[in-house]
Structure 1
Amino acid sequence: MFELMLCSLLTVFPDYLFRRYAQGKRIGREITFYTVWYELRWGITACLLLTISLITLIFYFHPSTKHVTAVFRTVTILPETVGRVDEVYVGNNQKVEAGAPLFRLDGSQQEAAIETARRRIAEIVAETQVAETELAGADGQITEAQGAYQTAVDEYEMKAQLLKSNAVSQREVDRLQTTIDGRKGAVDAALAKKKTLETQIAVLLPAQKASAEAAQAQAQVDLDKTFVRAGVAGSVQQFTLRPGDVVNSMLRPAGILVPAEAGRVALIAGFGQIEAQVMKPGMIAEATCVGKPFTIIPMVVTGVQDVIATGQLRPTDQLVDVQQMGRPGTLTVFLEPLYPGELEGIPPGSSCIANAYSNNHDALADENIGTLRWLFLHVVDAVGLVHAMILRMQAVLLPVQTLVLSGH
């Protein structure tokens, strides 16, 4: 309607002035309800053609959409293990900080595992002390065995000298040789026992202690998993847990955590596919939202998704008919505020209306630009003002349309 009124001022109105003052035709006499088409046919035809051209020009180079939403992400509150709720620390719709505890599962099994690991560590420490005591006794056994061995060697050497003078028998010398071998074995056994104790103290018991400490740490990690904490700062929604409820990470989540910054960073808009060649990152845009009426928010296009979501295909056990994708999808565009804090006060998930404006400043600054192209680009940039005025009219009428004309 606004475009039609503007075009009529350039076509129908000058035609009427010509008929009135050049041809002397007056409304109510020569120009009546029945003759208005014949008398103003040139102006009306030009008005219709100019209106259609203007609307096409505006909506192509300065696209608009009502499919704009402050999309926000939610975080599902889930424990890492299955368990029964023992304590609940927060309530529904309560704001929490990152790392704040939300609820705790029953951790008696994990606490028992920690206590078992702690007792095993104490047992290994005691075994180490016993082994150190035995190691001190092993030194005494080695000294005793070496003394007995040396005594046997000395006696053998003395009897061997006596054997040459037939003072002792060969059998007695052989017996002493056997005794030496036995005493030598006792010395080796004492040394081996000491080596075993040293290895046990230096390698085995520390390894067992390290394993027990690792088991204690694992049990502590499992116990910590029973405390479910907030990953980010935000508000807890749909949280109805009570002590005694069983929470399953696969089948039954505990609730939803809405991050504090959710939906307050950017808007996501769905423009028509025909604007795919026009929409570029860096374009200036404007938006007005139902959650913040009578307000125009300056935005900038920060990203344009290079695929249409409705064309996606996932492998299934059935062939997909293209007819099922008959509904045309939209071009997903990301809009961010041109100035910080512009989205404050807009509830996440609000519906909005957005305009994007083409900017031909760089093309107009080219010295080699032709006259017709220079004129066309000037017209394109100028008609963006019309679309901006339409958006402001929508911002004014949006509360009236929502509260009065919608019938709610």
Structure 2
Amino acid sequence: MFELIICSLVTILPDYLYRRYVQNKRFGKEITFYSVWYELRWGITGCLMLTISLITMIFYFHPSTTSATLFFRTVPILPEGSGRVAEVNIGFSAPVSKGDVIFRLDSSKQDAALETAKRKIAEVDAAMVSAESEVVKAEAQVQEATANLQQAKDELDVKSELQRRNPGIVPQRDIEKLQVMVNQRQAGVDAAAAVKQSASLRVSTLLPAEKASAEAALAQAQVDLDKTFVRAGVTGRVEQFALRTGDVVNPFMRPAGILIPEGAGQRVLQAGFGQIEAQVMKEGMVAEATCVSRPWVIIPMVVTTVQDYIAAGQFRGGEQLVEAQNITRPGTILVYLEPLYRGGLEGVTAGSSCIVNAYTSNHEEISAKETGTGRKIALHVVDGVGLVHALLLRIQALLLPIKTLVLTGH
């Protein structure tokens, strides 16, 4: 409507003034409602053509969209394993901090495994004390066997010396028995030394390894027990949490609830612009937004990211070929916008629907010395008509509560 009124001022109005004051045709006489088209045909035709061109230029170089929302990420509250809920620590809606326990699963099995692991460590410690006493005992047996060996050697040496000095005084049979006894005592020493080494290895290697395994089992049991305590991974707020004691939760089929991180949906506005505006949308463009949850307020924004891919064109490989005509709705160019000033989105509810206008700025090209005069004038016109779009956005912001509350009956 504004474009039509503006265009009529430079087309229909001059045509009418020419007919009225130059050709002396009067409204109601020569110019009637029935002859308006014939008398003002040039002005009406020029007005329509100029209006269409102006609207096209405004919406192309200063794109607008109503598909803008403060999307926010939600974190599902899931245990790492299935189980029955034993305790719930929050209500239907509550704020939580990172690490807070939201609910606890039944942990009787994990408690039993933890207690078993503790008993196993105690058993290994007791075996360590017993093995140390066995080492002492083996040491004593080695000393005893060594003493017996030394006694047998001494007796063999004495009788062998007597036999050497006075042959025949000691029977050869006795010397042979003593030699066998020495060999027997030597074997006893070796056996006692082996027993001592075995006991020492058990103390220094086997039992520490068993204790390490028991401690690892204890740590695993503690981890399994900790998994029964479902904690908040981030600081935020739990909403619509209807889990109660006795319910069964499953990480694959039945989440426990939803956690909304703190600050979610309060930093970035996502807007979908038409594909035809892909060449116009650039990072750094100034934009404005008005949201349903904060009426009568214009929020200055800036484009920070323009997604290079259109979501409607994605596909997942499977057993069927993609048929292009099955894509019924054309996708949009996803654009991320942030407030131009700190706290710009305060008061806007996360998930709120918004209207966004983006404005093309050619200031740098206009200021460049190599830009021609004609192009400068054209770029000035392009930048100037953005004022019309800005005015339309403010009218939309003004009428938005009326449209929502009165005209739609909500």
Same fold (TM over 0.5): yes
- For 1:48, the equivalent position in structure 2 comes to 48
**How much has 1:30 moved relative to structure 2?**
2.2
Could you tell me which residue of structure 2 aligns to residue 154 of structure 1?
Answer: 154
Among 394, 397, 400, the alignment partner of 1:398 is: 400
Q: What is the correspondence of 1:363-402 to structure 2 with a 5 Å cutoff?
A: 363-402=365-404
Question: Letter of the aligned partner of 1:328 in structure 2?
Answer: P
Residue among 272, 275, 294 paired with 1:273: 275
Aligned to 1:140: 140
1:334 deviation in Å?
A: 0.8
Report the residue type matching 1:364 in the other structure. Answer: I
CA distance in 1, matches of 2:401, 2:260: 27
1:338 pairs with 2:361: no
Aligned equivalent of 1:199: 201
Letter in 2 for 1:374: K
Q: 1:121 corresponds to which residue?
A: 121
Task: Give 2:284's match in structure 1, choosing from 282, 285, 297.
Answer: 282
Pick which of 160-169 and 342-351 moved more.
Answer: 160-169
Which letter does structure 1 place at the counterpart of 2:210? Q
Q: After TM superposition, give the deviation of residue 337 of structure 1 in Å.
A: 1.0
AA matched with 2:32:
T
Give a deviation string over 1:70-115, Cα, whole Å, max 9, x none: 1111111110011110000001122222211110001111111111
| Alpha-carbon distance in 1 for matches of 2:127, 2:229 | 35
Inter-partner Cα distance in structure 2 for 1:150 and 1:169: 22
Q: CA deviation at 1:372?
A: 1.5
Describe the SS at the equivalent of 1:359: coil
Aligned length: 408
- RMSD, matched Cα: 1.3
Instruction: State the alpha-carbon separation in 2 of the partners of residues 174 and 3 from structure 1.
Output: 133
Q: Give CA-to-partner distance per residue, 1:118-161, whole Å, 9 cap, x none.
A: 11111111111111122222222221111111111111122222
Listed as ranges, the matches of 1:154-233 within 5 Å are 154-164=154-164, 165-233=167-235
138-147 or 72-81, larger mean C-alpha shift: 138-147
Measure the CA separation in 2 of the matches of 1:9 and 1:208.
96
Q: Please name the residue that 1:66 is paired with.
A: 66
Report the TM-score, using the length of structure 1 for normalisation.
Answer: 0.97
Alpha-carbon separation, structure 2, partners of 1:199 and 1:13: 111
Match of residue 109 from structure 2: 109
Unaligned runs of 5+ in 1: none
Q: CA deviation at 1:292?
A: 0.7
Return the offset for 1:317: 2.2
1:320 to 319, 322, 337: 322
Distance (Å, rounded) in 2 between the aligned partners of 1:393 and 1:26:
37
TM-score (norm 2): 0.97
Distance (Å, rounded) in 2 between the aligned partners of 1:326 and 1:372: 42
- Which of 346, 349, 368 is the aligned partner of 1:347? 349
1:96 is matched with 96
Aligned to 2:32: 32
Range moving further from structure 2, 278-287 or 165-174? 165-174
Return the alpha-carbon distance in structure 2 between the equivalents of residues 285 and 177 of structure 1. Answer: 109
User: Runs in 1 of length 4+ with deviation above 6 angstroms?
Assistant: none
Partner in structure 1 of residue 236 of structure 2: 234
In structure 1, the partner of 2:264 is: 262
CA positional deviation for 1:26: 2.5
Q: Tell me, in whole angstroms, the C-alpha distance in 2 between the residues paired with 1:26 and 1:219.
A: 100
Which of 328, 331, 335 in structure 2 is aligned with 1:329? Answer: 331
Query: Hey, what's the Cα distance between the residues in 2 that align with 1:3 and 1:389?
Result: 11
Which amino acid is 1:334 matched to?
Y
Output the CA distance in 1 between the equivalents of 2:250 and 2:227.
Answer: 13
> Once the 2 structures are TM-superposed, how far is the Cα of residue 281 of structure 1 from its aligned partner?
0.9
Aligned partner of 1:144: which letter?
E
Shift of 1:17: 2.2
Per-residue deviation, 1:20: 2.3
Distance 1:333 1:321 in 2: 27
Q: Which structure 2 residue ranges, 5 or more long, are not aligned?
A: none
The aligned residue for residue 11 of structure 2 is: 11
Give the Cα–Cα distance (whole angstroms) in 2 for the partners of residues 390 and 297 of structure 1.
15
**Equivalent position of 2:296 in the other structure:** 294
Identity across the alignment (%):
61
Matched AA of 1:69:
T
1:252 equivalent among 241, 251, 254 = 254
Quick check: 13-22 or 357-366, which moved more? 13-22
Q: Distance in 2 between matches of 1:342 and 1:261?
A: 13
Structure 2 letter corresponding to 1:180: V
Query: CA shift at 1:332, angstroms?
Result: 0.8
Task: Identify the match of residue 308 of structure 1 among 310, 317, 320.
Answer: 310
SS of 2:385's equivalent in the other structure is helix
Q: Measure the CA separation in 1 of the matches of 2:367 and 2:177.
A: 119
Distance in 2 between the 1:390 and 1:224 partners? 58
